[in-house]
């Protein structure tokens, strides 16, 4: 079975090509709402042709409603395959013990569900995306909420755009916490500042439980902090795509719940 998993985020659309539940390829396309269905279709066709991959089905998880519609059209009209779309509560992945379940981000629910397939609860999933999200599964295995804060790259971009003299820098670990030049000062603030904020929030969440909480990180920047994130138990860079694949594999069973 060849599956194309589509994770539509605010900054990037991440595509995963699976064959028999194994991830063969991962691609990223910039999320641009002004792109048309035809433009997305042309980009996807080129990628699939280049890698000789012909999907038999497509599954979509999105936090951008307008782009979700485009990609449904791409699947149904260009690839001519069945398209499965995940919405909060549809399919019913896990109990949502939060105030407004209909407002839960699909990516956050998919991440939590995917983590629960690999690790016993309670657990905390930290996803480094456009927004950095913390999602918590209770000891009983239900989703009980979390934290949302601006993402690391969003913070770096805001610093560059809102100041007159500070340069835009890439996010990576500086040679020392004490920067000896402007670029390293910024990198130190971004890297160590975000690291300690993430650590502190994770520790606060752990204190809410009377038993150990496993911490899982995912997202494009999850490996950036790997060297210093001693509070993280597991790094799962493909957690969302693997979650989409797992949901597709169990679609009928989950849809009956």
The pLDDT assigned to 19 comes to: 97
Nearest to 16 by CA among 110, 80, 108: 110
Task: Round to whole Å and give the CA distance between 112 and 57.
Answer: 23
38 annotated active-site = no
Encoded tokens for 187: 């990198």
Containing H/E element for 152? helix 152-161
Where does residue 217 rank: exposed (0-12), middle (13-18), buried (19+ CB within 10 A)? buried
Encoded tokens for 79: 């690839």
User: Strand, helix or coil at 95?
Assistant: coil
Cβ atoms of residues 202 and 135 within 8 Å: no
Pick the catalytic residue from 7, 99, 107, 248. Answer: 107
Q: What is the pLDDT of residues 28-48, one digit of tens each?
A: 999 987 888 889 999 999 999
- Among 92-96, 119-123, 218-222, where is mean pLDDT lowest? 218-222
Please tell me which residue, 2 or 255, carries the higher pLDDT value.
2
Q: What is the pLDDT of residues 58-117, one digit of tens each?
A: 999 999 988 999 999 999 999 999 999 998 878 889 999 999 998 899 999 999 999 999
Task: Round to whole Å and give the CA distance between 176 and 174.
Answer: 5
Domains of the chain: 2-86 (3.30.420.40), 119-239 (3.30.420.40)
pTM assigned to the model: 0.92
Mean pLDDT rounded to a whole number for the chain: 93
The pLDDT assigned to 224 comes to: 86
């Amino acid at each position: 079975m060849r599956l194309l998993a589509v994770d539509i985020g605010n900054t990037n659309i991440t595509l995963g090509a699976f064959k028999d539940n194994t991830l063969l390829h991962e691609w990223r396309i910039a999320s641009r709402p002004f792109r048309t269905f035809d433009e997305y279709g042309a980009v996807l066709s080129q990628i699939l042709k280049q890698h000789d991959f012909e999907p038999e089905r497509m599954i979509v998880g999105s936090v951008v409603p307008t782009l979700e519609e485009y990609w449904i059209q791409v699947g149904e009209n260009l690839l001519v395959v069945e398209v499965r779309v995940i919405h909060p509560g549809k399919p019913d992945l896990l109990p949502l013990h939060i105030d407004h379940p209909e407002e839960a981000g699909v990516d956050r629910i998919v991440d939590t569900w995917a983590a629960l397939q690999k690790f016993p609860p309670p657990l905390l999933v930290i996803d480094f995306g456009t927004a950095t999200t913390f999602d918590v599964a209770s000891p009983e295995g239900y989703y009980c909420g979390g934290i949302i804060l601006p993402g690391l790259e969003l913070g770096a971009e805001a610093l560059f755009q809102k100041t007159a003299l500070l340069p835009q820098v890439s996010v990576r670990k500086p040679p020392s916490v004490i920067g000896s030049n402007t670029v390293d000062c910024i990198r130190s603030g971004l890297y160590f500042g975000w690291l300690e904020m993430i650590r502190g929030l994770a520790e606060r969440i752990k204190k809410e439980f009377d038993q150990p909480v496993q911490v899982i990180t995912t997202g494009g920047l999850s490996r950036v902090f790997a060297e210093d994130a001693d509070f993280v138990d597991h790094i799962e860079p493909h957690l969302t795509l693997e979650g989409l694949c797992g949901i597709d594999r169990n679609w009928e069973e989950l849809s009956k719940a």
